[in-house]
Structure 1
Amino acid sequence: MTTPASDPRPAEPDFTPDEQAAFYRLAAARRDMRHFIAGARVDEAVLRRLLEAAHRAPSVGLMQPWRFVRIVDAGLRERIAGLVEQERQRTAQALGARGEAFLKLKVEGVRDCAELLVAALAPDDGTVFGRRTMPREMALCSAACAIQNLWLAARVENLGMGWVSMFEPQALAALLGMPSGSQPIAILCLGPVHAFYPAPMLELEDWRHGRPLDALLSTDGWGG
């Protein structure tokens, strides 16, 4: 077994200032997109690059718990849209006085996006390394890293992506024939858009506004 110092593979070069600036611009430009160009397509080679980027995400204990299901059947896509609509209505009811305003928001692009993916957790493989005290949480965190990689890769390819969480997991799992112990965690809408939002859409719609970093940062304790 080689040690890191004796590994024969060449070391990765440092990033240049221009590359660093491009990354921070990318992170700031990422948006949760809901408006897509209907009938558009994503080139197969581009989609493969995006999924490879997702698959390079870090995972606790190298467990790689993510699975991606590509939805290509139009009828299946429509049934997924139906599940999302059911949850949209339930969410409106749960919001009480804000329910009517919520129903006016566009919260997904399931029918219009060029590609529809379902991200899921695989059945637990028993990995203990790094997740003995938080097994479920670490699987979820690892899968979320893969989704974020996909999101950033989509943005740098000038494609929009939206994360839809409005669905009943058991119903979607049954629809996709997922095995026991697995769980869908995201419906991902992907594809060309007319324009990227200049700010998060929920801010533009005055639904909710993001908080500054300093309001969420402390030192040496929760309230430090």
Structure 2
Amino acid sequence: MEGKHFEETAVAVLQDIILHRRDVRGNRFLSKPLEEEVVDKLLTAALNAPSVGFSQPWEFVLIRDEAVKQRIKASFNEENEKAVPVFSEEKQPDYIRLKLEGIMEAPLNIAVFYKPSDKPVLGQTSMEEAGLYSVVCAVQNMWLMARALNIGIGWVSILDAEKVKHILNAPMENKLVAYLCVGYTNGFYTQPELEILQWEKRKMKQAVVFKEGY
């Protein structure tokens, strides 16, 4: 058991990265392309995420083509219009003003898919969704590495997943987990943007942590 041992300074750096990770929207991205070595670092971080049964059930589609982005953006626009009436009349004007994606502005989009195994997966026999959770871990790894590199990532969830699959010619069994906008940014907010805008309030630890049960 000769695994690497980290010092306290590394703990402080990791905590800083976690606390300063942000969702970056289209109005924050720069047009500067991402270097291939930077993209490789992001993907390496994702590929080293934990996965149930070491199944590594993730696949990544890198999208730079403007025409493909336009088709994805059209799906966003359609779904975004549907979302407006879901919120209260008081919230609707705020929702309409929000910039909720950076599909065209970000130089790189990454579609992250869950690819189910065709055989039983250790640890997934009782909770099938553990495979999906593994892919989310890969996304989080990528997001933290991006923040360490001062690169912005925005997760776009206002999409029709089946339309995205069709646009990207994804295999039928694959499931879209995340659509990410990635690129250099003109800066990071000191707090999450939706917290600054008071869309929601931050939950305190004592409100969500229980001992020995609820």
Query: Which TM-score band (shorter chain)?
Result: over 0.9
Match of 1:15 in 2: 6
Match of 1:107 in 2: 100
The structure with the largest alpha-carbon Rg is 1
Q: Which amino acid aligns with 2:13?
A: A
Question: 1:59-138 maps to which residues of 2 (within 5 A)?
Answer: 59-97=51-89, 98-135=91-128, 137-138=129-130
Give CA-to-partner distance per residue, 1:52-109, whole Å, 9 cap, x none.
Answer: 0100000000111111100121100111111111111111122241223211111111
SS in 2 for 1:101: helix
TM-score by length of 2: 0.95
| Identical-residue share of aligned pairs (%) | 32
Q: How many Å separate the matches in 2 of 1:127 and 1:208?
A: 41
TM-score by length of 1: 0.91
**What 5-or-longer segments of structure 1 have no aligned partner?**
6-10
4+ aligned runs moved over 6 Å, structure 1: none
SS in 2 for 1:93: helix
Q: How many Å separate the matches in 2 of 1:171 and 1:68?
A: 17
Q: How many Å separate the matches in 2 of 1:59 and 1:87?
A: 31
Q: How many Å separate the matches in 2 of 1:128 and 1:31?
A: 33
- Cα deviation for residue 194 of structure 1 reads 0.7
Q: How many Å separate the matches in 2 of 1:207 and 1:105?
A: 10
Task: Using the TM superposition, name which of 153-162 and 176-185 deviates more.
Answer: 176-185
**Within the alignment, does 1:168 sit opposite 2:169 as a pair?**
no
Q: How many Å separate the matches in 2 of 1:179 and 1:188?
A: 19
SS in 2 for 1:191: strand
CA RMSD of aligned residues (A): 1.3
SS in 2 for 1:91: helix
Q: Which amino acid aligns with 1:50?
A: L
Give CA-to-partner distance per residue, 1:126-162, whole Å, 9 cap, x none.
Answer: 3331111111x10111000000000000000010111
